[in-house]
Amino acid sequence: MITKICCIGAGYVGGPTMAVIAQKCPHIKVTVVDLNQERINAWNDNDLSKLPVYEPGLDSVVKEARGRNLFFSTEVDHAIEEAEMIFISVNTPTKTYGVGKGMAADLKYIELCARQIARVAKTDKIVVEKSTLPVRTAQAIKDILDNTGNGVQFQILSNPEFLAEGTAIEDLFAPDRVLIGGETSPEGEKAVQALVDVYANWVPKDRILTTNVWSSELSKLTANAFLAQRVSSINAMSELCEKTGADVNEVAKAIGMDSRIGPKFLKSSVGFGGSCFQKDILNMVYIAKSYGLNEVADYWEQVIIMNDHQKRRFAKNIIKTLYNTVSGKKIAFLGWAFKKDTNDTRESAAIYVADDLLSEQAHIAIFDPKVEPEQIHFDLNYLDTRSKEENAKGVSIETDPYETCKDAHAIAVLTEWDEFKTYDWQKIYDNMLKPAFVFDGRNILDGKELEKIGFKYQGIGK
């Protein structure tokens, strides 16, 4: 039975996942390590509102397990040495250089982990891929471990994480399924069973699915591609709805009642974001192309093309509606995170909409209930469209939504935070320049009510 686990990478996946494993398995010591000292300090902060990842319910899980059998540390070597099972949960960003630039996953952090494990391990280890990886990465990890290790045995498992940010704790407590891929040898099967036993502490056995490694790796990419495809499909229909007088919410409801289609993941929006969808699809497109499967690659790439179009057309519509110029105009952004209930901004549609409006010399005032100002500056500067100074001049980051909207020509809703629905919209209207526009990129506000107040309201796909 496994009694010591370590996880390399204390990010949005590693942190919450390990916190739940520790909470549900008090007999297992779980150590989460990261090179980033600041991040580890935040995970160890007594003030639970300072945890580096915002997730509803995460604070109480950490409170219960931290110091009991859950530990956060920067001592990577020590944690590797001690653990029987090592999860790799480091970032695998899209490559920004060389072969596969802009498409393939950059596996340098994974490789560094594998080399470190090989160097440090003095006893047999089960190494678990938690990060989403291109299919056949397990082979690369195995090659490194077997060729550079100290003669100890390594078993590689693939155990992709399907949690969605914002609902991570719910998803981890009651997953639709846990997927574990392993080798079909007796040692492989033993390793798979060891991980099954960990999850079986709280997940019903019939929800723990075991496959070969390659099916597991590819299933994760496939699941994300299918989910993203649904969003791009409904977003494609949203543009058609706007031209034809149909309402995309009504269309989504009508098709979602077909049990073959189902009602979930059909919310039209300003475009999907997050660390996974775009990265995983591009990665899959790259893999397909590398096998010469051009039709397969083109089919999936269209999901990304549609998503880029949706973000850009939202910005274009703001400019067109504001009489073809936003130069010098204040546009209030409600929301910056890629979805509600998270402080994660990776690939958030807000970044790209802001980029387009800043290029048209708008002034953007931004309010998000959970995202730190430094993160917003980082996101805009990372794009490299303008200098840091120009970005800083064009943007103000606010702490009060009413101040954000004061004297604005228009409001753009970029994230579906629940609190936006409860604002005093009359007060917001009274303090805006007229005509006062609302561009609801999430279709969360009551357009009819806003129009009664006097707003000019536009949702997506209506």
- In the bound complex, which residue of the shown chain has the CB atom lying closest to ligand UDX? 274
Q: What is d(CA 320, CA 324) in angstroms, rounded to the nearest whole number?
A: 4
> Residue 124: left if φ>0, alpha if ψ -120 to 50, beta else—which one?
beta
223 binds ligand ADP (CB under 6 A): no
- In terms of CB distance, is 161 or 183 closer to ligand UDX? 161
Q: Which of 314, 338, 367, 425 binds ligand UDX (CB under 6 A)?
A: 338
DSSP class per residue in 347-385 = T-HHHHHHHHHHHTT-EEEEE-SS--HHHHHHHHHHH-S
Residues 61-80 that bind ligand ADP (CB under 6 A): 76
- In terms of CB distance, is 18 or 460 closer to ligand ADP? 18
- In terms of CB distance, is 89 or 458 closer to ligand UDX? 89
89 binds ligand ADP (CB under 6 A): yes
- In terms of CB distance, is 163 or 315 closer to ligand UDX? 163
Instruction: Provide the minimum distance between the beta carbon of 34 and ligand UDX in the complex, in angstroms, as a whole number.
Output: 20
Q: What is d(CA 255, CA 119) in angstroms, rounded to the nearest whole number?
A: 54
Which of ligand UDX, ligand ADP, none binds 200 (CB below 5-8 Å, type-dependent)? none
In sequence order, the 6+-apart residues with CB closer than 8 A to the CB of 402 are 423, 424, 427, 428, 431
Q: Which of 42, 111, 162, 392 binds ligand UDX (CB under 6 A)?
A: 162
Q: Which of 163, 251, 408, 410 binds ligand UDX (CB under 6 A)?
A: 163
171 binds ligand ADP (CB under 6 A): no
265 binds ligand UDX (CB under 6 A): yes
131 binds ligand ADP (CB under 6 A): yes
369 binds ligand ADP (CB under 6 A): no
10 binds ligand ADP (CB under 6 A): yes
92 binds ligand UDX (CB under 6 A): no
Cβ–Cβ contacts within 10 Å for residue 425, how many?
A: 22
Q: State the chain's maximal CA–CA distance in angstroms.
A: 74
Catalytic residue among 6, 25, 113, 276: 276
Q: What angle do CA 396, 349, 250 make, to 5 degrees?
A: 120
Residue 4, H or E segment: strand 4-8
Residue 404, H or E segment: helix 401-405
Angle between helix axes 137-148 and 108-120 (nearest 10 degrees) is 30
Give SS3 for 29: strand
- Tokens linked to 252: 């989504």
Q: What angle do CA 217, 280, 213 make, to 5 degrees?
A: 5
Q: What angle do CA 408, 414, 418 make, to 5 degrees?
A: 100
In sequence order, the 6+-apart residues with CB closer than 8 A to the CB of 260 are none
164 binds ligand UDX (CB under 6 A): yes
Residues 233-262 that bind ligand ADP (CB under 6 A): none
Tokens 């001049």 belong to residue: 393
Contact letters for ligand UDX, residues 374-413 (x by CB under 6 A)? ----------------------------------------
Contact letters for ligand UDX, residues 228-257 (x by CB under 6 A)? ---x--------------------------
Q: Does residue 25 carry a catalytic annotation?
A: no
Binding site for ligand ADP (CB under 6 A): 8-14, 33-36, 39, 76, 89-91, 109, 112-113, 131, 275
Binding site for ligand UDX (CB under 6 A): 161-165, 224, 227, 231, 265-267, 269, 272-274, 276-277, 338-339
Give catalytic residues, as residue numbers. 276
